[in-house]
Amino acid sequence: MPQDEKRVGPIHFTAQGQEYTESCRIVRIIWRGATTAGDQVTIMGRGSNSNVILWPCRTDGTNTYLGVVFAIPGVHAPDGFRATELASGEVFVYLAE
């Protein structure tokens, strides 16, 4: 993306292994989809923070709509982040400007 262009909207993950590679601050994460009890999502850091869990979540039912809002300024992800688990559905990660 050219330097003068700004990203609009959330980062959208639909599969395990997807990643966002830019330094950022995460302010909100939403997981939605047709799930079954025990389905999980784990968002972790990348690079030097690859062992840092930013958001672990497990559902206890179906038709999940779960999320978290982090206090401003948000959770810092200096090397970006990745979905190490995404059992079902989709995840939307909202970044601070």
Comparing 6 with 91, the larger pLDDT belongs to 91
Residue 5 within any structural domain of the chain: no
26 pLDDT band (50/70/90 cuts)?
A: very high
Any idea what the CATH number is for the domain that residue 48 is in?
Answer: 2.60.120
Residue 24 within any structural domain of the chain? yes
The pTM of this model reads 0.89
Does 22 reside within a domain?
A: yes
Q: How many domains does the chain have?
A: 1
Span between the terminal Cα atoms of the chain, in Å: 16
Domain holding 19, by residue range, is: 13-95
Q: What is the pLDDT of residues 42-65, one digit of tens each?
A: 999 999 999 999 999 999 988 889
Instruction: Check if the beta carbon of residue 65 is closer than 8 Å to that of residue 92.
Output: no
Residue 7 included in any domain: no
**What does the angle CA 74 – CA 26 – CA 54 come to, to the nearest 5 degrees?**
95
